[in-house]
Amino acid sequence: MCVVSQGMVLSSFFWGYATTQVLGGYLSDRCGAKRVMMAAMLGWSLLTLMTPVVAQSCSDDDRPTIRDHSATGSSTRSAIVLRMFVIMRILTGCLQGSDGCIVVAKTF
C-alpha cells in the first residue's frame, strides 16, 4: 500500500471520531449511557473483526496504489478494497467517538 493510501485509511478514523462527539453525548442523554456504550462497542468490535476479511480479499499482486484512486476513475478490485477500508475506519471512528465522550462526561 502506498503512503497516500495509508494516510487516507489512517486519517479516516479521526474524521469519524471528531464528528460524533456531540452526537454521542446527546444520544447518551436521550437513550442512556449504557445503551449507547453497548451499541458502540458492539459496532466497532464487529468492524474490527471484519478488517482481516477485507484485507484478505485483496491479493498480494493487487494491492492499492496511488493510481487506483486518481482522476482516471479506475474501478479495480484494489480501489474497491481501499474504499471499503476508508468506510470501515470512518464508521469505527464514529462509534468510538460517541463512546469516548460518554466516558469523559461521566468522569466529571
Q: What gap in Å lies between CA 84 and CA 64, rounded to an integer? A: 12
| Tens digit of each residue's pLDDT, the chain (108 residues) | 678 888 888 888 888 888 888 888 888 888 888 888 899 999 999 999 998 888 787 655 555 555 545 444 445 777 888 888 889 999 999 888 887 666 665 655
Domain span at residue 56 reads 3-107
**Considering its fold, how many domains does the chain have in total?**
1
Residue among 84, 79, 6 at smallest CA distance from 47: 84
pTM over 0.95: no
